[in-house]
């Protein structure tokens, strides 16, 4: 029975079993749940399919969220990328568009897949469907990519946290970006070691990020942080694929994220009492919405 | 370890906008629906801490009501949970408090629900990523995971009967 408690153990398992990170997750899930590999694979495929639908629907939907403070940006981004003018090119450009599409859908209370949370649901579909389109990675490989991502997220979630309320945005967008970075590496033929370095490098870049949603909504600044998360994931993946290592081992980075999250004041952990939520504009939005809620309910 | 499966990380498939403040809470409400095998006649919902601050913006109220109405996390009707509850005749009272007396976590909710002459008081915590558990039933501390497909309970044993 495999149980993975750390990135160190994960890499040992990969070496021992001569497996990828994704394959280790698939094996562990089978061990733990008693389900057939094909059943588990199909369950993950269903999640990928839902993500694909969110991307397709979201990139065409320019409607505004019920709050009135988000929506319409993914259509703008798609137009811009399609004109071929994007400074960051098609690979990162498409990832940003798709990520926007899913995060905007989330704000509209449409169906999405939490990866690992709804607040960070844009990042993985963003990078996955961009490398599907631009690097010709087949959909079945993307399903394996989701096993890679979930293995990395599994270690992070059990050693630290993945929700903004518990650990700030570093735990939420930070974790998703870290998972995405490792997944890109594995899908592009990097070694498990490189994937874990990419995970560490991405997470380090987002340490300390606070969770400060305007009016408590998962919209401002969450949606754009998802978008930026995709480009950090690609950068971290490239750094690792170049053979550059994280000087601080991934497990220690995760532990640091945990320690920072514990020390972070409550105001900056999804309570909408600090950070951008407390700006003049943030407060105005809150008051406007609060008046509306009081009238409706 | 609170996270046991790859589907705790990739998933749930859910309506937005927050896995901890929406999806996880649907499962807590649904726990009560499953106990009664029906939506309650009346539910008192007490949001604590982070839930108290942000429940309207995250649709946490719609989520818990959707769950009480028997909806799952990916049910697109959750958006209109208030209308659904109103039409079904479920009375809902929402209150907020700074801190939960029973459990130390920012995402906690206490629900007292009545159905016919049955009564139950449940404390639930949403741990993030849609993973949640019940930590209190009728003032007794418990530890029952409610997200995912593992609901091993004999529900009837847990309901108290209201003397009124």
Nearest CA in chain B to A35: B5
Residues in chain A within 8 Å Cβ distance of B7: 43-44, 47, 150
ipTM of the complex: 0.96
Interface residue of A165, A175, A262, A288 to substitute, partner B, most B CBs within 10 Å: A165
Span A5-50, pLDDT tens digits: 999 999 999 999 999 999 999 999 999 999 999 999 999 999 999 9
Span A147-181, pLDDT tens digits: 999 999 999 999 999 989 889 999 999 999 999 99
Nearest CA in chain A to B10: A115
User: Which A residues 128-167 touch B at CB under 8 Å?
Assistant: 146-147, 149-151, 153-154, 157-158, 161-166
How many domains, in total, are found in chain A?
1
What local confidence, expressed as pLDDT, does residue B53 receive? 81
> Confidence class of residue A129 from pLDDT cuts 50, 70 and 90?
very high
Residue A296 in any domain: the answer is no
What local confidence, expressed as pLDDT, does residue A212 receive? 96
Residue A23 in any domain: the answer is yes
Residue B151's contacts (CB-CB under 8 Å, 6 or more residues apart) are B31, B34
Span B111-150, pLDDT tens digits: 999 999 999 999 999 988 788 999 999 999 999 988 765 5
Span A220-258, pLDDT tens digits: 999 999 999 999 999 999 999 999 999 999 999 999 999
Residue A65 in any domain: the answer is yes
Cβ pair B68, B31 in contact under 8 A: no
Residue A272 in any domain: the answer is yes
A42 in contact with chain B, both atoms CB, cutoff 8 A: no
CB-CB under 8 Å, B20 with A32: no
Residue A17 in any domain: the answer is yes
A281 in contact with chain B, both atoms CB, cutoff 8 A: no
Q: What percent of chain A has pLDDT over 90?
A: 92
Residue A114's contacts (CB-CB under 8 Å, 6 or more residues apart) are A121, B10, B11, B12, B14, B19, B23, B129, B130
What local confidence, expressed as pLDDT, does residue A165 receive? 85
Its domain, for residue A243, covers 7-291
Other beta carbons within 10 Å of A219: 27
Residue A93's contacts (CB-CB under 8 Å, 6 or more residues apart) are A77, A80, A81, A86
Residue A2 in any domain: the answer is no
Residues in chain A within 8 Å Cβ distance of B49: 271
Q: Which residue has the tokens 């498409």?
A: A94
> Confidence class of residue A290 from pLDDT cuts 50, 70 and 90?
confident
Backbone φ and ψ for B124, nearest 5 degrees, come out as -125, 150
Question: Using CB atoms, which residue from A105, A111, A121 is nearest to B74?
Answer: A111
Residue A123 in any domain: the answer is yes
- B136 pairs with which residues across the strands? B123, B141
Backbone φ and ψ for B137, nearest 5 degrees, come out as -130, 125
Other beta carbons within 10 Å of A292: 14
């Amino acid at each position: 029975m495999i149980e993975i408690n750390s990135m160190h153990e994960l890499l040992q398992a990969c070496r021992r079993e001569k497996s990828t990170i994704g394959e280790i997750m698939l094996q562990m899930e089978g061990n733990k749940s008693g389900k057939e590999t094909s059943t588990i694979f199909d369950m993950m495929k269903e999640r990928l399919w839902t993500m694909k639908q969110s991307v397709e629907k979201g990139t065409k939907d320019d409607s505004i969220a019920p709050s009135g403070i988000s929506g319409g940006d993914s259509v703008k981004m798609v137009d811009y990328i399609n004109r071929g003018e994007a400074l960051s090119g098609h690979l990162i450009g498409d990832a940003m568009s798709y990520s926007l599409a899913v995060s905007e859908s989330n704000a509209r209370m449409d169906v999405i897949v939490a990866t690992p949370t709804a607040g960070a649901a844009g990042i993985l579909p963003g990078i996955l469907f961009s490398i599907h389109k631009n690097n010709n990675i087949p959909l079945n490989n993307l399903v394996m990519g989701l096993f890679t991502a979930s293995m990395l997220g599994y270690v992070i979630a059990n050693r630290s946290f993945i929700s903004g309320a518990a650990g700030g945005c570093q735990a939420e967008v930070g974790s998703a970006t870290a998972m995405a970075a490792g997944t890109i590496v594995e899908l592009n033929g990097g070694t498990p070691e490189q994937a874990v370095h990419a995970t560490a490098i991405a997470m380090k870049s987002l340490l300390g990020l606070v969770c400060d949603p305007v009016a408590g909504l998962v919209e401002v600044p969450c949606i754009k942080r998802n978008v930026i998360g995709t480009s950090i994931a690609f950068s971290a993946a490239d750094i690792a694929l170049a053979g550059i290592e994280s000087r601080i081992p991934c497990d220690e980075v995760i532990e640091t994220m945990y320690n920072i999250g514990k020390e972070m004041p409550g105001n900056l952990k999804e309570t909408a009492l600090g950070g951008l939520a407390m700006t003049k504009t943030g407060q105005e939005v809150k008051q406007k919405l609060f008046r509306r809620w009081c009238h409706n309910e | 370890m609170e996270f046991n499966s790859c589907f705790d990380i990739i998933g749930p498939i859910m309506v937005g906008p927050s896995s901890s403040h929406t999806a996880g809470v649907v499962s807590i409400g649904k726990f009560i629906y499953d106990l009664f095998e029906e939506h309650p006649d009346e539910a008192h919902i007490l949001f604590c801490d982070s839930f108290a601050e942000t429940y309207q913006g995250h649709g946490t109220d719609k989520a818990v009501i959707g769950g009480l109405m028997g909806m799952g996390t990916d049910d697109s009707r959750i958006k209109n949970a208030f209308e659904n509850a109103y039409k079904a005749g479920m009375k809902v009272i929402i209150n907020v408090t700074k801190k939960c007396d029973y459990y130390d976590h920012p995402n906690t909710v206490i629900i007292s629900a009545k159905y016919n002459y049955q009564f139950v008081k449940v404390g639930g915590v949403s741990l993030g990523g849609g993973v949640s558990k019940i930590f209190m039933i009728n003032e007794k501390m418990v530890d029952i995971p409610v997200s995912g497909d593992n609901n091993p309970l004999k529900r009837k044993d847990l309901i108290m009967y209201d003397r009124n």
